[in-house]
Amino acid sequence: MMFPRIYTAQNSAEAGVVISFLRAEGFHPLDLQTSPSFMLGGGDLFYHVQLPAQEVEAAIEALKVNGYGEGITYQSDEPNAG
């Protein structure tokens, strides 16, 4: 099963809020500790929120409608999508 990254948070607290919001809306995001995080040159740490591929479109819409649009980082592999 694919778990695309749909949201990138700048800290674990932000990622936790987004994960909690998605769960409350009936989605199934991965737990934060099982999601990959990464650092960039200066030590900036980012956390990805991931969920099952079949939930991506509805979850992105829910995030946008509820004020979480700025952190959405999902890019479809399909041409002309997104």
Q: Are 54 and 28 in contact (CB under 8 A)?
A: no
Partners of 40 in the β-ladder:
44
The domains located in the chain, with CATH, are 5-71 (3.30.70.1530)
Q: Are 74 and 60 in contact (CB under 8 A)?
A: yes
Is the pLDDT at 68 greater than 50? The verdict is: yes
User: Higher confidence at residue 45 or residue 56?
Assistant: 56
Q: What is the pLDDT of residue 6?
A: 95
Q: Copy the structure tokens of residue 25.
A: 């809306």
Is the pLDDT at 3 greater than 80? The verdict is: yes
Judged by DSSP in three states, 38 sits in strand
Q: Copy the structure tokens of residue 26.
A: 């009936």
Q: What is the pLDDT of residue 73?
A: 93
Q: What is the pLDDT of residue 22?
A: 98
Q: Tens digit of pLDDT for each residue in 51-64?
A: 999 999 999 999 99
Answering whether pTM is above 0.85, one says: no
